[in-house]
Each structure stands twice: as C-alpha cells, then as structure tokens.
C-alpha cells in the first residue's frame, strides 16, 4: 500500500512528550514521531541501532563519555548497546522522527514509569 502523509499534520496529533506515535512503516521498520521536552531516562537497546532525525528544535543526547547536540535537519544514530539519555534544553519542545525495527522497545531493557509499552498509530 502506498503511504502518503504530511509530517506537520501528523505532529499536531502528538500530544504527549516522550510518547512515540507510529506514522508509517516500511521494510519491517516503523516511522515514529515524538515530541520531547525535559529529560528521558538512561537506557540502551541490546539488539537495535536507533536513528533520530530532528525535525524541530535542538535535541541533546547524553552518553557516558560525551554529549551530542543535534539540530533541525540533522540525524543522530546511536549504535545498539550504547547507553544514552535523551533530553532537551530548557523548556524547548523538540520534534523527532525515529526509524526503528518494529520490535524496538521504547526504553530498551529498562522498565520505568516513562516506558510506553503500547505505541499508537496516528
């Protein structure tokens, strides 16, 4: 099935922070949209790399040995097994596009109150 959607319109349907919503799928991967504000939790993914494409705002990814700051139009790929903690600066809202295998768990092998076990389609 051919999929066509407007990312701006899809982002308007995302109302919670750190709660990925599925906008499309291809080749066993989901395209997820996320609005972020504040800090997530430290976690890693044992079996999947993660790709973060920044659509709006400035995104910060903390690693144990360094910090990466990523702006609109930039992409950050976190290799599997690398512990990381996503965050934003101050009160800025950041819009992220994630490309992940369908089996990817929201917070990897960590189960936390922020973990989203179900991710809805928008």
What is the structure's pLDDT at 107?
66
pLDDT for the residue numbered 22: 96
Strands of the 67-70 sheet, one edge to the other: 67-70, 59-63, 84-88
pLDDT at position 104, please? 76
pLDDT reported for residue 114: 65
**From CA 70, how far away is CA 26, in angstroms rounded?**
25
Q: What confidence score (pLDDT) does residue 51 get?
A: 94
CA distances from 94 to 29, 75, 110 (A): 22, 13, 23
117 confidence band (pLDDT: 50, 70, 90)? low
Instruction: Tell me what the mean pLDDT of segment 44-55 comes to.
Output: 93
Sign of CA dihedral 115, 117, 119, 120: negative
Which tokens hold the place of 57? 């705002």
Neighbour-count burial for 27-64, b at 16+ CB within 10 Å, e otherwise: eebbbbbbbbeeebebbbbeebebebbbbbbebbbbee
Which domains are present in the chain? 16-101 (2.60.120.10)
State pTM to two decimals: 0.88
Q: What is the pLDDT of residues 66-113, one digit of tens each?
A: 999 999 999 999 999 999 999 999 899 999 999 998 877 776 676 767
């Amino acid at each position: 099935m051919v999929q066509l959607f407007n990312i701006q319109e899809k982002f308007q349907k995302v109302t919670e922070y750190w709660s990925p919503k599925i906008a499309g799928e291809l080749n066993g991967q989901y395209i997820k949209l996320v609005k972020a504000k504040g800090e997530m939790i430290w976690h890693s993914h044992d079996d999947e790399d993660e790709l973060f494409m920044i659509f709006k705002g400035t995104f910060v990814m903390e690693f144990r040995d360094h910090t990466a700051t990523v702006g609109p139009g930039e992409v950050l790929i976190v290799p599997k097994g690398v512990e990381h903690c996503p965050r934003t600066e101050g009160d800025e809202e950041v819009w992220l596009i994630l490309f992940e295998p369908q089996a990817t768990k929201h917070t990897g092998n960590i189960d936390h109150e922020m973990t989203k076990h179900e991710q809805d389609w928008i």
